[in-house]
Amino acid sequence: MSELNIPAVDLGERVILLVEDERSLLTALASFLRRKGITVVEAETGDEALQFLMENRRVDLVLSDIEMPGSINGVGLAQWIKVNRPALPVVLTSGRQSTALPGVAFLPKPFSLGELLPIIEGAGTQA
């Protein structure tokens, strides 16, 4: 991933729950977001992400792959969030399938960091 030609945006004190089973992508995205001043919580499965969310910890945005190992995939995670934490913005990503869940954004893979930043910038902060 390249950071060339990416506009500077004020991302404030955001906390993003990043859910991705491909370790190299998870690491690269988390590193990029941290350099932008964002607190990143990493999860490699939907189960890990769900556990974090069930602890009622602060999260301003969930960015999750759709296809993951475990008992819950990205769509199931998004559905749980919409029922239990409806104000929490969710962005799902996939290179193979899209989703049309109400209130859930979709970002097809591969995506550029320039495409990701406006989505993060637009997500409101949650307490």
pTM for the model:
0.83
What SS3 state is found at 55? coil
- The pLDDT of 13-28, averaged and rounded, is 92
pLDDT at 11: 53
- Would you give the DSSP letter of residue 2? -
With cut-offs at 50, 70 and 90, classify the pLDDT of residue 123.
low
Residue 25 CB contacts under 8 Å (≥ 6 apart), including other chains: none
Rounded CA separation 49/47 (Å)? 5
Q: What is the mean pLDDT of the chain?
A: 83
Confidence of residue 127 (pLDDT cuts 50, 70, 90): very low
Which CATH architecture group holds 15-106?
Answer: 3-Layer(aba) Sandwich (3.40)
Residue 109's pLDDT is 83
Domain boundaries, the chain: 15-106
Taking only the tens place, the pLDDT of each residue in 23-79 is 999 999 999 999 988 999 999 999 999 999 999 788 999 999 999 889 999 999 999
